[in-house]
Structure 1
Amino acid sequence: MHGGGGIEIGSHVIMGANCYLIASNHQYRSRELPIMLQGDHRRGISIGSNVWLGGGVTVLDGVSIGDNVVVGAGTVIAEPVESNSVVFHSRALTQRGMF
Structure 2
Amino acid sequence: MAAPSSSGAAATAAVDEFLAQVPSTPQELAENKRRMENGELYFAFTPDLVADRRRCALACHLFNQAPRDAPRRELVALWKQLIRDDTPLPPPAGTPEEDEALFADQPWVELPLRADYGFNVVLKEGVYVNASSTWIDTLPITIGARTLIGPNCSFYSGGHPLHGKVRNGIRGPEFGKPIVVGEDCWLGGNVIVLPGVTIGAGSTVGAGSVVTKDVPPGVVVVGNPARVIRVVE
Q: TM-score, normalised on structure 2?
A: 0.37
Q: 2:148 aligns with which of 8, 11, 14?
A: 14
Partner residue in 1 for 2:41: none
Q: How does 1:50-61 map to 2 (within 5 A)?
A: 50-61=184-195
RMSD value, Cα: 1.7
Equivalent residue runs for 1:58-69 within 5 Å: 58-69=192-203
Deviation of 1:31 (Å): 3.3
Q: 1:25 aligns with which of 156, 159, 162?
A: 159
Larger Rg: 2
1:34 aligns with 2:168: yes
User: CA separation in 1, counterparts of 2:173 and 2:142?
Assistant: 23
More helix by share: 2
Which has more strand, going by share of residues? 1
**Highest RCO, 1 vs 2 (Cα 8 Å, sep ≥ 6):** 1
Distance 1:46 1:33 in 2: 26
Are the aligned partners of 2:167 and 2:173 in contact in 1 as well (CA < 8 Å)?
Answer: no
The residue number in structure 2 matching 1:96 is: none
Give TM-score, length-normalised by structure 1: 0.83
Please tell me the residue identity of whatever aligns with 1:14.
L
When residues 82 and 44 of structure 1 are mapped into structure 2, their CA distance, relative to the original with a 3 A threshold, is same
**Offset from partner CA, 1:11-65 (integer Å, 9 cap, x none):** 0110110000111111132437623333111111000000000000000111001
Question: 5+ unaligned residues in a row in structure 2: which ranges?
Answer: 1-134, 225-233
Q: 2-side partners of 1:45 and 1:56: how far apart? A: 17
Q: Which residue of 2 aligns with 1:73?
A: 207
**What 5-or-longer segments of structure 1 have no aligned partner?**
91-99
Identify if the C-alpha distance between structure 1 residues 87 and 34 changes in structure 2 by more than 3 Å, giving closer, same or farther: same
Over the matched positions of the two proteins, sequence identity in percent amounts to 31
Partner of 1:31, secondary structure, is helix
Aligned residues: 90
SS of the residue aligned with 2:136?
Answer: coil
Do the aligned partners of residues 33 and 57 (structure 1) sit closer, same or farther apart at CA in structure 2, a change above 3 Å counting? Answer: closer
